[in-house]
Amino acid sequence: MTTVSVSPEVTPTPPPAVPGEPGPFAVWPASARPAPSGDVCVGGVSLAEAADRFGTPLYVLDEQEVRERCRTYRTAFPDADVVYAAKAFLCRAVAHWVQEEGLGLDVCSAGELELAVTTGFPPEKIVMHGNAKSPQDLATAVRLGVGRIVIDSTCEIARLATLVPVGTRQQIMVRVVPGIAAGGHTAIRTGTEGQKFGLSITDGSAQHAIARILDQPALDLVGLHCHIGSQITTSKPYLVALRRLIGLMTRLRDQHGITLPQLDLGGGHAVAYRPGEEALDVTTLAARVRTELADGCARSGLPVPRLTIEPGRAVIGPAGVAVYHVLAVKRTGDRTFVAVDGGMSDNPRPALYGVRYAPTLIGRRSRSAPRPVTVVGRHCEAGDILADNVPLPDDIRPGDLLAVPVAGAYHLSMSSAYNLVGRPPVIAVTDGTARVLVRRESLADMSSRDIGL
């Protein structure tokens, strides 16, 4: 284990704001503590020292923050299956943490599935879904004994049925489109008509698929699944989706005589990326969903199904901090560009969704007034922008360190090898120590795949 300790000169002091409330550290991990030197400690580890020890770009993951967020969900939904959405970020350690905290796992590929199972994650606690599962994905899921597979298209029905061993049945759910527009950006709204996910209730596609599934003795239909979008800040869209799913369950009972025992509401719970932004209140969501589910089933004469939810970003996002070195400062006209040693290869989200962050100067204290700057990456793309029009000290210079909080989700899981810049390492911090979870990708790693000569 590699350790990094807090030096005497950076003795932690209480943060100026409580995490979750407006203030400079509102969106940082709860363990974040600024120091008089201008450094910040997370999990008792100096970020400046970690950058010096492990290099930059660097991703720091607060293990205790991840665990506490898992516990928040388990407390809010004590009678539901809480499954962590691995697409947000998955490595062996994260799979181990969420398993220890009592969560299941939601995967979208054979790769995510095999990593989890070879780490020791119980396959029966894994849900597999995706809009275009390959034959290998489905075969791997059946072979490894995945608990539930979510059918996303009629093409998958016969394909999956032929893979199930004779004399056994595979539990499945059907992903339906409830016709709800929810989420922070059009690219992440998945509950509406006219997008690639799920089967429509409105045009009858979901009902048609379910009728076909009921003719397959190898498939055991246990419930309905939906995922309406991402970065959803209020409970209302989930309640509307719930009513529509209960309505479909009622029609299935009346038409086919089946009572489905499970219902999956997906995830998409919003987190705040900048101080003052709104996040979804998980406790409020749980209370309202529980009430709506009980009342809706009572009105329809249905038994209350077991609920599943799939948080990903809300578990891992706020636990991560990205750390970069400043490489250049360029003033062009009335704009100032601050270039760092990472960029869209380790965080494509600003380019994809226009997401905005709150980078912070760390490692030294500046007395200069802040001025608006654009933090850009090192890649040969005009769209390689990490943070636009954000305040940073006027004396920012090459060699400085910038930290970007809320960097745990959809950064490294969506990273690339653009310009052959290796992907950053991930270190876990807790109780004043740091250990490498994922090592830095080297040129040798990338070159080993190139066998063309």
Do 138 and 57 sit in the same domain of this protein?
A: no
| Residue 453 forms part of a structural domain | no
Q: How confident is the model at residue 197 (pLDDT cuts 50, 70, 90)?
A: confident
Fill in the amino acid letter for 425. Answer: P
Do 106 and 210 sit in the same domain of this protein?
A: yes
| pLDDT tens string 87-119 | 999 999 999 999 999 999 999 999 999 999 999
| Residue 331 forms part of a structural domain | yes
CA torsion sign, 39 to 41 to 42 to 47?
positive
Do 332 and 432 sit in the same domain of this protein?
A: yes
| Residue 16 forms part of a structural domain | yes
| pLDDT tens string 159-180 | 999 999 999 999 999 999 988 7
Concerning whether 380 is annotated as a catalytic residue, the answer is yes
The one catalytic residue in 41, 155, 297, 380 is 380
Domain boundary among 299, 316, 333: 316
Q: How confident is the model at residue 453 (pLDDT cuts 50, 70, 90)?
A: confident
pLDDT of 186 over the 60 cut: no
- Whole-number average pLDDT of the chain: 91
Give me the pLDDT at residue 254, please.
96
Domain boundary among 316, 348, 373: 316
- Distance CA(190)–CA(228), nearest Å, equals 5
Give me the pLDDT at residue 192, please.
52
| Residue 452 forms part of a structural domain | no
- Do the Cβ atoms of 38 and 366 come closer than 8 Å? yes
Do 52 and 92 sit in the same domain of this protein?
A: no
| Residue 386 forms part of a structural domain | yes
Do 116 and 84 sit in the same domain of this protein?
A: yes
Domain boundary among 293, 316, 339: 316
| Residue 84 forms part of a structural domain | yes
Cis peptide before 22 (omega within 30 of 0): no
Structural domain boundaries enclosing 251: 64-316
Do 297 and 337 sit in the same domain of this protein?
A: no
Give me the pLDDT at residue 182, please.
54
Length of the chain: 453
Query: What CATH number did the domain enclosing 328 receive?
Result: 2.40.37.10
| pLDDT tens string 286-295 | 999 999 999 9
pLDDT of 123 over the 70 cut: yes
pLDDT of 12 over the 50 cut: no
Do 22 and 93 sit in the same domain of this protein?
A: no
> What is the tally of structural domains in the chain?
2
